[in-house]
Amino acid sequence: MTDKTYELTVKMNNGYVIYEYRKHFSGFLQADASGAGGNTGDDFTCEIPSINNIKNGPDTTSSDSVCKKYKSADADDTRTVTWKEIAQAWKAVGNNMKYCPAALVIGGGECQTLSNTAGGCNIKATGKSGIWQNDWAQGHPNFNLFNPCDNAKAVYHQIVRPAPGGDPCDKGCYTYNTSSDKTPVVLRPPTGSLYGDTGGNSNNNCNWLGPFCHYQKDVKGGPANCGGTGKPSGTAWTGGANTDQPQGFPYYYQSKFLEYNNKNPPTCDKSNTSNCLNISKQSYQLAKQYCDSVT
């Protein structure tokens, strides 16, 4: 492992640039996330996962203890769904456990807790969109979003759009709107955005944490009143895009997850990029512990 060099690969897809850092180890080429949401072997990797790899397990919701425990949860439910239970819900619906740490971190940044020592997401405080904020499924007859298992099942359809019965104008991380529109067009948010380059990478932060994307795109070929341009537009998981969230994406979520676990994450912003990478590593290790406890 001595011949170690880095190169930046720039690809074009439908007129948009995809940046990808790769490294060579004695002739072996592998994807790398150096400075973009993780750069160690025990950390998040900056990549666009295969759309066919997001779900890879059986659906055991009918027998799973967590799914049954929260089956009748509603808006007035004051219980806290623990981090381990959230990981178990992710597994119960057949989602790939490789992405369980990312799911916990994103959920930890979207949900609400009663305190940093509560040990998870409070159902009532989090609200009607649930742990992963599945706005599209509010009121949907097939999903009780207060139940972490239904929420984990619904989040797949928030990642892969359009959702069953959903708005055809919905944007998505992956889109199955037309046969020519199945591939995301950006690996990183546009340079110069409010939330860019807090990880020390001149080409901006990674746009992905597992299968969860930050910057999404319009549905190409969709209804005319939707725009239908296929261009990057808006945000799917918004954390880090606001001016009061200097950590940027994905570090806002990673920092919030540590905070909700009663940790004290260091200041992460464009002036403290090493802290951001440290937060990434800490959040991955902690989330993976929860995920491994149910596998």
Please tell me the predicted confidence (pLDDT) of residue 241: 79
The residue whose two tokens read 């930046």 is 8
Residue 289 above 50 pLDDT?
yes
Please tell me the predicted confidence (pLDDT) of residue 186: 56
Residues 10/177, Cβ–Cβ less than 8 Å: no
DSSP line for 97-145: GGGHHHHHHHHHHHS--SSTTS-EEEHHHH-TTTTTT-GGGTT-TT--T
Residue 204 above 60 pLDDT?
yes
Rounded Cα gap, residues 15 and 273, in angstroms:
30
What residues make up the domain containing 63? 4-292
Please tell me the predicted confidence (pLDDT) of residue 35: 35
Please tell me the predicted confidence (pLDDT) of residue 39: 41
The total number of structural domains in the chain stands at 1
Q: pLDDT higher for 38 or 206?
A: 206
Average pLDDT, the chain: 77
* pLDDT tens, position by position, 102-155: 999 999 999 999 999 999 999 999 999 999 999 888 999 999 999 999 999 999
Residue 91 above 90 pLDDT?
yes
| pTM for the full predicted model | 0.79
Please tell me the predicted confidence (pLDDT) of residue 47: 82
Q: Percent of the chain scored above 70 by pLDDT?
A: 66
Please tell me the predicted confidence (pLDDT) of residue 31: 31
Q: pLDDT higher for 61 or 239?
A: 61
Report the phi/psi class of residue 13: left, alpha or beta, with left for phi > 0 and alpha for psi in -120 to 50. beta
pLDDT band at 23 (very low <50, low <70, confident <90, very high): very low
Which neighbouring-strand residues pair with 4? 25
The least confident of 44-58, 220-234, 236-250 is 220-234
The residue whose two tokens read 């409070």 is 122
Which of the 8 DSSP states describes residue 99? G
Give phi and psi for 236, each to the nearest 5: -85, -65
3-state SS record for 145-173: CCCHHHHHHHHHHHHEECCCCCCCCCCEC
Closest CA relative to residue 30, chosen from 2, 53, 7: 7
* pLDDT tens, position by position, 148-183: 999 999 998 888 875 555 555 656 687 654 444 444
Please tell me the predicted confidence (pLDDT) of residue 108: 94
Average pLDDT over residues 51-77: 96
Rounded Cα gap, residues 169 and 198, in angstroms:
31
Q: Which of 22-31, 33-42, 238-247 has the highest mean pLDDT?
A: 238-247
Q: In the chain, what is the straight-line distance between the N-terminal and C-terminal CA atoms, in Å?
A: 32
